[in-house]
Amino acid sequence: THFGYREVPESEKTRLVGRVFRSVATRYDLMNDLMSGGLHRAWKAFALNIAAAKPGERVLDLAGGTGDLAAAMAVRVSDRGLVVLSDINDAMLAVGRDRLMDRGTPRRLTYVQANAESLPFPDNTFDLITIGFGLRNVTHKDRALAAMSRALKPGGRCVVLEFSRPRSPLFGRLYDAYSFAVVPKLGRYVAQDEESYQYLVESIRKHPDQEALKALMEDAGLQRVTYWNLTGGIVAVHRGYKL
């Protein structure tokens, strides 16, 4: 091991997820706006407020993709701080880096291609670790949460923004109808890739709900775990501390 980093063999799921995001990288931002009707921006803004990055802090954005969260946090940490944008996928990271280069905070940003399950950072490195719409795609969520906990400084916090379970059954049925009927078609006509968006809808259904994710975070050693439901529970923001 080097910095507690272990090589993890690529699983079937990891390969599938790799194909999905390589395929959608260049259409990713447009698809997010179309599928969520722009709501993903409000969800990210909410998560950023919960994360509350401060001047001088060291921040890691995991599964950061095209860099929405990292870009906003780079502004908040000021020139004294640092934001690491990290993703397992070179195509997503390349799109993210190009976008962030144009935003005017390059000195506060670095880029690391890494699997969230085996983070190449020393213990106790970050004040804040975020993962936005990423944990769902990780094969071994327990390993990723343990790796996050390890890389956090004592007192540091981790914020998970992810799809979750609608709280009302009626709303849940409407949401199901929308996602199974509309999302794969949008994928077909806009991203020329229906299958990837079929994967997306299915991965959302399989992801642990609010309480199950809270329990996973606690199992990984995070404490004082709380969560907020957004848009009727379609999305939730979880926060836990390493104490």
Q: State yes or no: residue 196 binds ligand SAM (CB under 6 A).
A: no
Among 133, 163, 175, 199, binds ligand SAM (CB under 6 A): 133
Shortest Å distance, C-beta 131 to ligand SAM: 7
Q: State yes or no: residue 115 binds ligand SAM (CB under 6 A).
A: yes
Q: Give the nearer residue to ligand SAM in terms of CB position, either 23 or 105.
A: 23
Q: State yes or no: residue 116 binds ligand SAM (CB under 6 A).
A: yes
From 97-105, 132-140, 163-171, 230-238, give the range in contact with ligand SAM by CB under 6 A. Answer: 132-140
Q: What is the 3-state secondary structure (H, E, C) of the chain?
A: CECCECCCCCCHHHHHHHHHHHHHHHHHHHHHHHHHCCHHHHHHHHHHHHHCCCCCCEEEEECCCCCHHHHHHHHHHCCCCEEEEEECCHHHHHHHHHHHHCCCCHHHEEEEECCCCCCCCCCCCEEEEEEECCHHHCCCHHHHHHHHHHHEEEEEEEEEEEECCCCCHHHHHHHHHHHHHCHHHHHHHHCCCHHHHHHHHHHHHHCCCHHHHHHHHHHCCCEEEEEEEEHHHCEEEEEEECC
Among 31, 58, 60, 64, binds ligand SAM (CB under 6 A): 64
Among 77, 83, 92, 237, binds ligand SAM (CB under 6 A): 92
Q: State yes or no: residue 87 binds ligand SAM (CB under 6 A).
A: yes
Shortest Å distance, C-beta 243 to ligand SAM: 25
Footprint of ligand SAM (CB under 6 A): 17, 21, 62-66, 68-69, 87-89, 92, 115-117, 132-134, 137-138
